[in-house]
Amino acid sequence: MPITYNVHSGVQLENDIRFTLEVMPNQPGIKAGGQMITDSDSMSFVYLLEDETGYHYVKFGQDVWPLLVNTLKAEVDPTLQFGDVELTLHKFREELEMLIFNIEGNDNYGAKFSKAVEEAFEEILKASSK
């Protein structure tokens, strides 16, 4: 059964962005899934982790969206840190960028979520239209 982890904080040192989990995954062999989806009901972006049992979810709620904007400006994918483990979230930037451009003006994600994404990621959305 999938487990959901919530990211509430992160740090940025130049291009190095690290998100932290307060609850440690106890799945041995957990790795980055390279995919991202949304949970518009909880106003979150969700990165998929995987292990031998299937997928698990890492939710990025609105409290860390400013750091997601910085992640899109960075040159490398961020890492997820839990305990002594640092896991690079492969394809994070690519997946997030694809989602925000798909969400822009698309109320299929829900009008409230679409509006929140458009406002939070306005700088990124405007930069690409130039």
pTM score: 0.92
Structure tokens that stand for 101 in this block: 């451009």
What are the CA-CA distances from residue 50 to residues 1, 44, 46, 53, 63 (Å)? 11, 19, 13, 8, 24
**What digits encode the pLDDT tens for the residues 19-65?**
998 877 776 788 999 999 999 999 999 999 998 888 999 999 999 99
| Residue 130: pLDDT over 60 | no
Q: Say what the pLDDT of residue 29 is.
A: 82
The whole-angstrom separation of Cα 23 and Cα 43 is 20
Confidence of residue 1 (pLDDT cuts 50, 70, 90): confident
Query: Which residues have CB under 8 Å from 16's CB, separation 6+?
Result: 74, 76, 79
Instruction: Please answer whether residues 48 and 37 qualify as being in contact, where contact means their C-beta atoms are separated by less than 8 angstroms.
Output: yes
Instruction: Please answer whether residues 36 and 99 qualify as being in contact, where contact means their C-beta atoms are separated by less than 8 angstroms.
Output: yes
Q: Say what the pLDDT of residue 52 is.
A: 87
Comparing 23 with 126, the larger pLDDT belongs to 126
Mean pLDDT of the chain: 91
The whole-angstrom separation of Cα 18 and Cα 89 is 10
